[in-house]
């Protein structure tokens, strides 16, 4: 085949795993043969509508088979896939469509009003609407100009194989950074970035063709797509797609489909072990839990280990496709708080403020190199130039250190660091200690102006249902565990923590609201 990119994976996988379920969505199984056939048909349909190599095709929808079909159809054509965050407002989506230059949009029927508003004034000329029932709706013939029914288009297209010349250096996908501050940047992931990331994940997670992964995070987020779905497809396993996170249903699905692998953020796993059905849920198949975003609280770790299940903490970002490090589950107690060791084909280094490489235990910026790291931001040469050191080391913007065994410990984001009385204060360190309190559901520490010290920490906290907690008790818990200048000078309790689609706390929003 001339196509050496991700678009060729289904064609290569079909003779090996044809009748086996590749996906399970809405309790319906889709075999590798069917998935490959529909991707071929969609690729032919898009080509007939003018999609060519390097054209951008956007997708707006929740976890669904159509997302997977669209991704692989773009790969077959050498087109660039642009998954959009369904939780954004129309102007935010409009910016991403304009910035990427997408001319085509595939969107879910449930998001039709949002899609229609988002494309207004952009270069999008053709839209395919994925109907909720998986087939043409009764409104055939009443669609707006330039809009077609997704399944009608696929059913009418030929299944003729397409073998476009695609190399590992060609662009495969534009993923926009979460944009917690300023306008988001489009990270251009190549076919090589994705392939090497999947190899890293398969090696370090011991992924096999017998694995069943349950995907509860949105596929438009890089971790769900590149660490969850694509490694499983590459190995010939099965992915169960869920569009909404409902703890009780997730626990039921684990038993029903004998799920082996589950990924999420600490809040995800906390909600699962606090669900009323936790004690009776069949978790006998569950063997691999991966958690990103922050370290798993000890009480949550205890709950899973009591069921014989360990955690692998992960660290990464969109620009590394996203895997950077992973902490093996059998080292989670020994290396509590660590983000783990670099993935097999990835390197990290710590660089001090002076620009020199830091020694063991010395804090500095985490920089990353490897074939999974992007080479550029889409149409942002300024951001690309600023994002690298010595041409090959991506500047993460995160602060951390490595211990004598090479394990990475992430302190915080450089921009989140608080300077109080000339001392560097890393919010993540304070958050980890506050999270030890059973009453705390989530916590974020921000800096607030102070006449004497310049900045002082403030803790923003949400409590678990039915719990009470006082500022005095928090201070008593921190006293003796942290230096006094690190102890928050004020505490604010809120009902709900603002989060991005990937579950990360929107600290910029908290600073805007509570930093004065």
For residue 126, the surrounding DSSP H or E stretch is strand 126-130
DSSP string of 50-91?
A: T--TT-EEEEE-SS-HHHHHHHHHHHHHT-EEEEE-TTS-HH
Domain of residue 463, CATH code: 3.30.300.30
Q: Which among 39, 107, 124, 49 is positioned nearest to 73, based on CA atoms? A: 39
Q: What is the C-alpha to C-alpha distance for residues 170 and 166, in angstroms, rounded to an integer?
A: 6
| In a domain? residue 353 | no
Give me the phi and psi of 147, to 5 degrees please: -115, 130
Q: Which residues lie below 8 Å from residue 360, measured CB to CB, with a gap of 6+?
A: 401, 402, 403, 404
Sign of the alpha-carbon dihedral angle for 437, 441, 445, 448: negative
| In a domain? residue 471 | yes
Q: What is the C-alpha to C-alpha distance for residues 359 and 307, in angstroms, rounded to an integer?
A: 39
- Give the number of domains in the chain: 2
- Give me the tens of pLDDT residue by residue for the chain, a chain 516 residues long: 999 999 999 999 999 999 999 999 999 999 999 999 999 999 999 999 999 999 999 999 999 999 999 999 999 999 999 999 898 889 889 999 999 999 999 999 999 999 999 999 999 999 999 998 655 544 455 788 889 999 999 999 999 999 999 999 999 999 998 644 457 899 999 999 999 999 999 999 999 999 999 999 999 999 999 999 999 999 999 999 999 999 999 999 999 999 999 999 887 898 999 999 999 999 999 999 999 867 777 888 899 999 999 989 999 999 999 999 999 999 988 998 899 999 999 999 999 988 999 999 999 999 999 999 999 999 999 999 999 998 899 999 999 999 999 999 998 777 787 878 767 787 888 998 999 999 999 999 999 988 778 789 999 999 999 999 999 999 999 988 887 889 999 999 999 999 876 678 888 899 999 987
| In a domain? residue 119 | yes
| In a domain? residue 21 | no
- 51 to 36, 262, 431, 450: CA distances (angstroms): 19, 35, 48, 56
What tens digit of pLDDT does each residue of 475-503 get?
999 988 887 889 999 999 999 999 876 67
Asked if residues 129 and 109 have their Cβ atoms less than 8 Å apart, the reply is: yes
Domain hosting 510: range is 417-514
Sign of the alpha-carbon dihedral angle for 194, 195, 200, 202: positive
Residue that terminates a domain, selected from 189, 208, 225: 189
Residue that terminates a domain, selected from 138, 164, 189: 189
| In a domain? residue 252 | no
Residue that terminates a domain, selected from 189, 224, 255: 189
SS3 340: strand
Residue 322 preceded by cis peptide, ω within 30: yes
Domain of residue 43, CATH code: 3.40.50.980
Q: What is the C-alpha to C-alpha distance for residues 446 and 449, in angstroms, rounded to an integer?
A: 10
| In a domain? residue 22 | no
| In a domain? residue 169 | yes
Give me the phi and psi of 327, to 5 degrees please: -100, 115
Asked if residues 17 and 29 have their Cβ atoms less than 8 Å apart, the reply is: no
pTM for this predicted structure: 0.85
Q: Locate tokens 């696929």: which residue?
A: 154
| In a domain? residue 69 | yes
- Plot region of 391 (φ>0 → left; ψ -120 to 50 → alpha; else → beta): left
Sign of the alpha-carbon dihedral angle for 415, 420, 425, 428: negative
Asked if residues 366 and 408 have their Cβ atoms less than 8 Å apart, the reply is: yes
């Amino acid at each position: 085949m001339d196509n050496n990119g991700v678009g060729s994976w289904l064609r290569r996988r079909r003779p090996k795993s044809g009748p086996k379920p590749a996906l399970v969505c809405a309790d319906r199984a889709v075999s590798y043969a069917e998935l490959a056939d529909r991707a071929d048909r969609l690729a032919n349909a898009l080509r007939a509508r003018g999609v060519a190599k390097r054209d951008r095709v956007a997708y707006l929808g929740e976890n669904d088979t159509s997302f997977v079909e669209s991704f692989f159809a773009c790969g077959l054509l050498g087109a660039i896939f642009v998954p959009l965050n369904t939780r954004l407002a129309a102007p935010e989506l409009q910016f991403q469509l304009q910035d990427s230059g997408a001319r085509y949009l595939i969107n879910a029927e449930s998001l039709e009003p949002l899609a229609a508003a988002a494309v207004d004034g952009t270069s999008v000329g053709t839209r395919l609407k994925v109907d909720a029932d998986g087939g043409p709706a009764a409104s055939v013939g009443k669609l707006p100009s330039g809009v077609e029914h997704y399944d009608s288009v696929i059913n009418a297209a030929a299944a003729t194989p397409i073998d476009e010349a695609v190399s590992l250096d060609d662009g495969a996908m534009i993923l926009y950074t979460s944009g917690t501050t300023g306008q988001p940047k489009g990270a251009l992931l190549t076919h090589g970035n994705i392939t090497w990331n999947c190899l890293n994940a398969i090696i370090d997670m011991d992924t096999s063709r017998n694995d069943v992964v349950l995907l509860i995070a949105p596929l438009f987020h890089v971790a769900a797509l590149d660490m969850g779905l694509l490694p499983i497809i590459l190995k010939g396993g099965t992915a169960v797609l869920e569009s909404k996170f409902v703890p009780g249903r997730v626990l039921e699905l684990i038993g029903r489909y004998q799920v082996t692998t589950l990924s999420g953020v600490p809040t995800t796993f906390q909600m699962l072990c606090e669900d009323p059905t936790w004690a009776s849920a069949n978790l006998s198949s569950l063997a691999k839990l991966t958690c990103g975003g922050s370290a798993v609280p000890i009480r949550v770790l205890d709950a899973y280990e009591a069921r014989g299940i360990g955690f692998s903490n992960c660290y990464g970002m969109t620009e590394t496709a996203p895997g950077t490090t992973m902490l093996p589950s059998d080292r989670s107690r020994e290396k509590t708080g660590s983000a783990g060791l670099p993935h097999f084909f990835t390197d990290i280094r710590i660089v001090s403020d002076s620009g020199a490489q830091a020694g063991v235990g010395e804090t500095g910026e985490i920089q990353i190199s490897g074939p999974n790291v992007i080479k550029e931001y889409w149409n942002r040469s300024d951001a690309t130039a600023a994002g690298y050191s010595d041409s090959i080391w991506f500047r993460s913007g995160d602060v951390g250190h490595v211990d004598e065994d090479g394990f990475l410990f992430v302190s915080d984001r450089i921009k989140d660091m608080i300077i109080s009385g000339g001392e560097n204060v890393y919010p993540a360190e304070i958050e980890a200690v506050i999270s030890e309190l059973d009453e705390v559901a989530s916590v974020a520490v921000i800096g607030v102006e102070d006449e004497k010290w310049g900045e002082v920490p403030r803790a923003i906290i949400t409590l678990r249902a039915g719990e009470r907690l006082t500022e005095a008790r928090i201070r008593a818990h921190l006293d003796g565990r942290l230096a006094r200048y690190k102890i928050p000078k004020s505490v604010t309790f809120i009902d709900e923590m603002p989060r991005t689609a990937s579950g990360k706390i929107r600290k910029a929003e908290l600073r805007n609201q509570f930093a004065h």
